[in-house]
Structure 1
Amino acid sequence: MDIAEALAAECAPCLHHDAPRAAHLALRAAHAAYESRFGHVFVICLDGVPPSQHVDQVLVAIRTRLAHDADEERALTAEEMRRLARGRIIDLVTEAGSSQGPFLVAGQPVR
């Protein structure tokens, strides 16, 4: 899968329905500006960022990244996608390990 295919599979993050309307509007406008400039959804890994700071982190990151040239943004997007994939794999392995017990890698149990 190349980066274009991976980006097509991503969706823009959304806010909880209880979030203030202004936050929804600001995020929607920022995403639209980003997609208009670069032709794909904005991707950011928020691992380690408290949920209460997600909107602010995303808005600051979009504003910063809108100033990038296409090549710089493509490289940063690829890195963010690697971080997302790494986090998703860790989550899957952690869930599998806790629900199924140890599993084997090269014949050795892994917990």
Structure 2
Amino acid sequence: MTRGSTLPAHPLSPLSGCIAIPAQTRSSPTPLLDGFNTAPVDEAHRTLLTCLRSVSWARRIADHRPYPTLDALLAASDEAAYDLTWADLAEALTAETLPALPEDAYGAAHTALSAAHAAYEARFGHAFVISLAAVPPDERLDRVLEGIRSRLANDPEDERVVASEELRHLGRARLASRFRGTGP
């Protein structure tokens, strides 16, 4: 006994066998990114070192040019930052300084920040770094003071991880600012 199909035949659509491919939007590089992509390697290194003072990070990003979009450059920045050794991170940390206080900050804020930073450097042996890219300007002083105080309780190994993540964020934010035309 043979069994046939139990379902009625379904008529095929006239587009049967065609594949729908979504439209791909690809933003073109900005003039600043075009200039970076075509710059001599030493110029590209200098540009990158203004964003994060790690020679290996800058070399890795420059060596993988050209970048079709800013997002591709930022992804490369993240990847290069994740692969930094402790020596590379230490190199980058030596060039970092505390974020500038707002011009209208009162004297006690300067004193509190200086004391907190000195305690941090004494405990961990490097500058305190924190990315303030997403923090409104009027909240930055509080965020820095809160960050230093809370991170002083970290184990040195844990703080290394936090500091490296903050450096990654700083490098990314500085690159984005530079190549959007809003940075130095």
Structure 1-normalised TM-score?
0.82
Counterparts of 1:18 and 1:34 in 2: how far apart (Å)?
25
Counterparts of 2:135 and 2:162 in 1: how far apart (Å)?
18
Counterparts of 2:96 and 2:165 in 1: how far apart (Å)?
14
Q: Deviations over 1:38-57 (max 9, x none)?
A: 01110000111111111110
Where do residues 22-37 of structure 1 align in structure 2 (5 Å cutoff)? 22-37=108-123
Is it true that 1:3 corresponds to 2:89 in the alignment?
yes
Q: Which amino acid aligns with 2:119?
A: A
Structure 1, gaps ≥5 residues long: 97-111
Once the two structures are aligned, what percentage of the paired residues are identical? 53
Counterparts of 2:132 and 2:152 in 1: how far apart (Å)?
18
Further displaced range: 32-41 or 11-20: 11-20
Structure-2 residue corresponding to 1:87 = 173
Q: Deviations over 1:40-95 (max 9, x none)?
A: 11000011111111111011111110000011000000000000000011111101
Structure (1/2) with the larger strand percentage? 1
Out of 48, 51, 75, which is 2:161 matched to? 75
Counterparts of 1:31 and 1:77 in 2: how far apart (Å)?
14
Shift of residue 37 of structure 1?
0.4
Q: Deviations over 1:21-44 (max 9, x none)?
A: 011111111101100100111000
Structure-2 residue corresponding to 1:44 = 130
Shift of residue 18 of structure 1?
2.9
Shift of residue 14 of structure 1?
2.6
Counterparts of 1:11 and 1:55 in 2: how far apart (Å)?
14
Structure 2-normalised TM-score?
0.50
Q: Which amino acid aligns with 1:3?
A: L
Structure (1/2) with the larger helix percentage? 1
Which structure has the greater CA radius of gyration?
2
Count of aligned residue pairs for this structure pair: 96
Q: Deviations over 1:5-26 (max 9, x none)?
A: 1001111223134310011111
Runs of 4 or more, structure 1, over 2 Å off, are none
Q: Which amino acid aligns with 1:38?
A: F
Structure 2, gaps ≥5 residues long: 1-53, 55-87
